[in-house]
Structure 1
Amino acid sequence: MRTRGRTYSGRNAALALVLVAAAGSIAAAAEVDPAQLDESIRRIRMGTLVIEAPPGTEVRVEQLRHEFWFGAAIASHVFGDRVNSDDAARYKQVFLENFNSAVTENALKWHAMERRRGEVDYSAVDAILAWTEEHQIPLRGHNIFWGVSNQVQPWLKELDDAELRETLKARAIDIGRRYRGRFAEYDLNNEMLHGNWYEDRLGPEITLDMTRWIRQEDPDAVLYLNDYDILTGRRVDDFVAHIQKFLDQGVPIGGIGVQGHLHGDSFDPVALQPSLDKLAQFKLPVRVTEFNFPGQRSKHYGNRRTRLTDEEEQAKARAIVDYYRICFAHKAVQGILMWGFWEGANWIPASSLYRRDWSPTPAAEAYRNLIFRQWWTDWRGKTDSQGRSEVRAFFGKHRVTAAGKEFIVDLKPNEPTKVVSLKSE
């Protein structure tokens, strides 16, 4: 049947990354075939809803939520007393309008929770979890451990090996027990490819021990490896070997996290796709866990007062769309989480979707057009002479309305066709 409304619209223009050079000039970079990406998206991100009702019955299919994670980091201070109440309320409202999943930015990090030995502050984690659960937002726990040396609390470094091991065990057990079943997944030990002080002190088995201690209290905990400079192609081969090492040890890796920080004023699409291909060999879910654009290698990193020109804002919007399109078209990727979306709570303010006064940037408008228009099912029609409507729909939750009745249907990749029948009623 012909569709009315929107279920999918391809991009007709060539998918070209815009480079913002240091002098401010703009040039086109390598291209990725947009037709091929669009075809991949249709093939791997869509299923079919079959509505059976008397011939000529009017039918409406409205998407409510994507199965794919389009998420963002949640700033701890928004859930405390360091942001005024109006901004805190607006932050939560805008989050819910744009994102379906979340990650703790700093709240769960050990050095934030236990700056001094024995004084554990759970307040930010508890507040964020309570809010995400209220709104049915799956939450990543970032992170249980972070073994890069400069992220390890000084008091931990003063412990002898036996005390250190017992303290790590206590941390794992505490998180597993207190938050059992509440986090959708965790980053186990952050950025081990770039440093693992715990392993240097206690030996190569400590990572497996960490998982055993967590699983002792939370048997279903999903534990991710998470690292950076992978999607640039610079460390992807190292990361592949790193993952394989842990799998060979028997570490129960539940997924692969790849940060999206290490881009500059541009990104290389020709590096992004092959990097994802290499990670896909493990048959594990891949999430882009910490995405900023412009990124950490940008001239805007470290300068919170920098402002993009109008031309750079447009380039940023195009680049974000291109990045998301490449990731959404890749079967291994199951989500992208921005590392900040509001200029008032973003470590790279220039990468924000919303300015400090909450006005949307061109990137916000481009993001919303992509997620909630191009990749959003909104269909109206009638059943045919056989009493059927077959609607191609993006995986996720939908409301189906027909003959005065309403059904909520969850369309998933493992069951790509679902039938809603009113004929027997």
Structure 2
Amino acid sequence: MTTQQTLRQCVKEPEKPLYGGGILKETEAKGYASGKKLLSENSKSAAPVKGSALKVDLKKDHHYALSVWLQLSKGEGDIRAVLVTPDGKFNTAGMIAAKCGCWTMLKGGATSYDDGKGDIFFETNVTAEVMAEGMALQPFSFDEWKGHRAESVKKERMKKVKITVVGPDGKPVPEADVSLERVGKGFPLGNAMTKEILDMPEYEKWFAARFRYATLENEMKWYSTEFHQNEEDYKVSDKMVELAEKHNITLRGHNVFWDDQDKQMDWVEKLGVPELKEAMAKRLKDIVTRYAGKVIHWDVVNENLHFNFFEGKLGKDASAEIFRDVAKLDSKPILFMNEFNTIEEPNDAAPLPTKYVAKLKQIREFPGNADLKYGIGLESHFAAPNIPYMRGSIDTLAQAKVPIWLTEVDVKPCKNQVEYLDEVMREGFAHPAVKGIVLWGAWHAKGCYVMCFTDNSFKNLPVGDAIDKLLKEWTAGHTGKTDSKGVLEVEIFHGEYNATVKHKEFKENCMTLDLDSKAEAKIELRSDKVLTPWVELKYPNRHLGLHRSQESGCS
């Protein structure tokens, strides 16, 4: 369902409406897509001028995808799209940074839970007229939305694989039992980890049974490793990295710097510019070189759309310079911006998708930064998610053509917390631009940050059960029999699998198959006269997620 149209900012000519305009086809013929002034200069962010609201008929339990090209009559500012649903709720469907003289696409939407009349209108935070072209509003029933999401999962996360089983003579073996158990690779799914894991075997066991990726919640941050100036302490983070390595858990580095003034140590805030540069250079070198080869990502300057501590001290290119310096010390990790509210809160103007892409562009265009490896980190701290807005925002961010990760996913406690978390996870998993998800459900004895998966005995709470359900679904293996030609065809999630093949006339055989890269695999069985099974297992004792194979001669 994600549009194949390239999304662009500040273009001279807008493109045609998506979905042919959707339910706005007839309305657009009356002039709403012909540069119509939708807001007078004097309206600013107040209610729309009389006659500028667009009336629409909305259906119960439908998601509405809104897209429109917008520009201002003068200057620069933010434009907010509002969809008023039949229940009277004013839903922010999206917001963009716009300017005079060029068109920028707003892509988002909202959900209607009732049948009836609705309105679309626009607001801006500057004194200027808003003009629109190519507006579209496309409805999707909840079932249609889920169906399109399932289609995307099949296309992006699964593969049709042909497995052929042959005997020692090379002839096909029909009626062979084939079992595939996921053991590695595939879509990255992880969780935040806290230092309590070092002293709690129950926590370690619970975590390692589920996750192949992790982020240290706080332990790599500057205030954790050098709370007092020149008194560095990496003992805790070092031990956590060792624990991750023991369990083959891949780590994201979080973070080199945090742009929030409230997260700086007192001694950092008091430094003059020369002293601050010296302290930052020392911090950057210490953390990056210490964990070189041990992390696949760095969150380089955390939350530098909401905050600007380092820019305020060192100038507008502070973030770009830090990205450059990290890459000089370790060029292998992907270097991420990392922000909250970009996909979860359409009313927050600071981290809008268009502003995120613009900030990344600024960093990329800094001298020496063009060829760095970049990533987009979306913290994803949700309350009640606006799913159409989430999808539209990721579509917009995808124009940057870099990996997108949901880096700190959680949902605030509420009666629908489990349902909301499931929706957010499935939406992220289905989007082709999203390359990994890390949950923010780190355990603390005195309470979690927002979302707890277990109680203090590490028994699952409802949210933990929801994650286990997704893990089982997304790491599911397969069992089946070969046909008369010795072939088993299966549609299965990307990943590495331990394949076990049994047949009454042959010895059991096992091997690891990389189904990320292969569409076909051939497994040869040996004669029953062979005393031991022919084993070619990359991970003989590993199980991914919550799946456990039955005992066999292969493990």
Give me the TM-score of the superposition, normalised by structure 1.
0.81
Cα distance in 2 between the residues matched to 1:341 and 1:163: 35
Paired residue for 2:478?
Answer: 379
2:516 corresponds to 1:417: no
Cα distance in 2 between the residues matched to 1:36 and 1:202: 47
Listed one character per residue, the Cα deviations across residues 347-403 of structure 1 (whole Å, up to 9, x for unaligned) are 435x2121233332222222212221x323322222222222122111112111124
Cα distance in 2 between the residues matched to 1:49 and 1:202: 54
2:268 corresponds to 1:166: no
Specify the code of the residue in structure 1 equivalent to 2:227: R
Q: Aligned-pair distance for 1:121?
A: 0.8
2:456 corresponds to 1:356: yes
**Equivalent residue for 1:44, pick from 135, 138, 156:** 156
Q: Aligned-pair distance for 1:15?
A: 9.8
Paired residue for 2:358?
Answer: 241
| Match runs of 1:338-353 below 5 Å | 338-342=439-443, 344=445, 347-349=448-450, 351-353=451-453
CA shift in 2, pair 1:382/1:287, >3 Å: same
Specify the code of the residue in structure 1 equivalent to 2:428: C
Unaligned runs of 5+ in 2: 1-60, 64-111, 115-140, 166-171, 503-507, 527-533, 535-555
2:375 corresponds to 1:273: no
Contact 1:223 1:254 in 2 (8 A): yes
Q: Aligned-pair distance for 1:28?
A: 5.7
Cα distance in 1 between the residues matched to 2:520 and 2:446: 41
Max radius of gyration: which structure? 2
Paired residue for 2:182?
Answer: 63
Report the secondary structure of 1:144's partner residue: strand
Paired residue for 2:407?
Answer: 289
Report the secondary structure of 2:365's partner residue: helix
Paired residue for 2:125?
Answer: none
Specify the code of the residue in structure 2 equivalent to 1:321: D
Report the secondary structure of 1:398's partner residue: strand
Specify the code of the residue in structure 1 equivalent to 2:462: P
Give me the TM-score of the superposition, normalised by structure 2.
0.63
CA shift in 2, pair 1:223/1:345, >3 Å: farther
- Which structure: greater helix fraction? 1
Paired residue for 1:305?
Answer: none
Cα distance in 2 between the residues matched to 1:420 and 1:283: 36
Contact 2:398 2:433 in 1 (8 A): yes
Contact 1:286 1:334 in 2 (8 A): yes
CA shift in 2, pair 1:379/1:110, >3 Å: same
**Equivalent residue for 1:259, pick from 345, 356, 379:** 379
CA shift in 2, pair 1:280/1:68, >3 Å: same
Q: Aligned-pair distance for 1:50?
A: 2.6
Report the secondary structure of 2:295's partner residue: coil
Q: Aligned-pair distance for 1:117?
A: 0.8
Specify the code of the residue in structure 1 equivalent to 2:427: I
Q: Aligned-pair distance for 1:160?
A: 2.3
2:512 corresponds to 1:408: yes
Specify the code of the residue in structure 2 equivalent to 1:358: F
Contact 2:296 2:332 in 1 (8 A): no
CA shift in 2, pair 1:194/1:74, >3 Å: same
Specify the code of the residue in structure 1 equivalent to 2:393: S
Q: Aligned-pair distance for 1:142?
A: 0.7
Cα distance in 2 between the residues matched to 1:101 and 1:346: 22
Report the secondary structure of 2:342's partner residue: coil
Paired residue for 2:333?
Answer: 221
**Equivalent residue for 1:397, pick from 466, 483, 496:** 496
Specify the code of the residue in structure 2 equivalent to 1:76: K
Q: Aligned-pair distance for 1:275?
A: 1.0
Listed one character per residue, the Cα deviations across residues 55-89 of structure 1 (whole Å, up to 9, x for unaligned) are 2122111122452122111112433xxxxx5xx11
CA shift in 2, pair 1:189/1:346, >3 Å: farther
2:253 corresponds to 1:141: yes
Paired residue for 1:75?
Answer: 194
Contact 1:44 1:329 in 2 (8 A): yes
Cα distance in 1 between the residues matched to 2:278 and 2:470: 48
Report the secondary structure of 1:193's partner residue: coil
2:347 corresponds to 1:204: no
Q: Aligned-pair distance for 1:213?
A: 2.8
**Residues matched between the structures, number:** 373
Does 403-412 or 244-253 show the bigger shift?
244-253
Cα distance in 1 between the residues matched to 2:289 and 2:331: 10
Cα distance in 2 between the residues matched to 1:96 and 1:168: 34
Q: Aligned-pair distance for 1:122?
A: 0.2
Does 112-121 or 29-38 show the bigger shift?
29-38
Q: Aligned-pair distance for 1:337?
A: 1.3
Paired residue for 2:205?
Answer: 93
Paired residue for 2:269?
Answer: 157
Listed one character per residue, the Cα deviations across residues 34-58 of structure 1 (whole Å, up to 9, x for unaligned) are 1111111011100133322132122
Report the secondary structure of 2:255's partner residue: coil
Q: Aligned-pair distance for 1:98?
A: 2.2
Specify the code of the residue in structure 1 equivalent to 2:274: A
- Which structure: greater strand fraction? 2
2:367 corresponds to 1:367: no
2:129 corresponds to 1:129: no
Contact 2:183 2:495 in 1 (8 A): yes
Contact 2:354 2:397 in 1 (8 A): no
Report the secondary structure of 2:332's partner residue: coil
Contact 1:343 1:355 in 2 (8 A): no
Contact 2:482 2:488 in 1 (8 A): yes
Report the secondary structure of 1:184's partner residue: strand
CA shift in 2, pair 1:367/1:134, >3 Å: same
Cα distance in 1 between the residues matched to 2:286 and 2:191: 26
Specify the code of the residue in structure 2 equivalent to 1:90: E
Specify the code of the residue in structure 1 equivalent to 2:376: I
Contact 1:342 1:358 in 2 (8 A): no
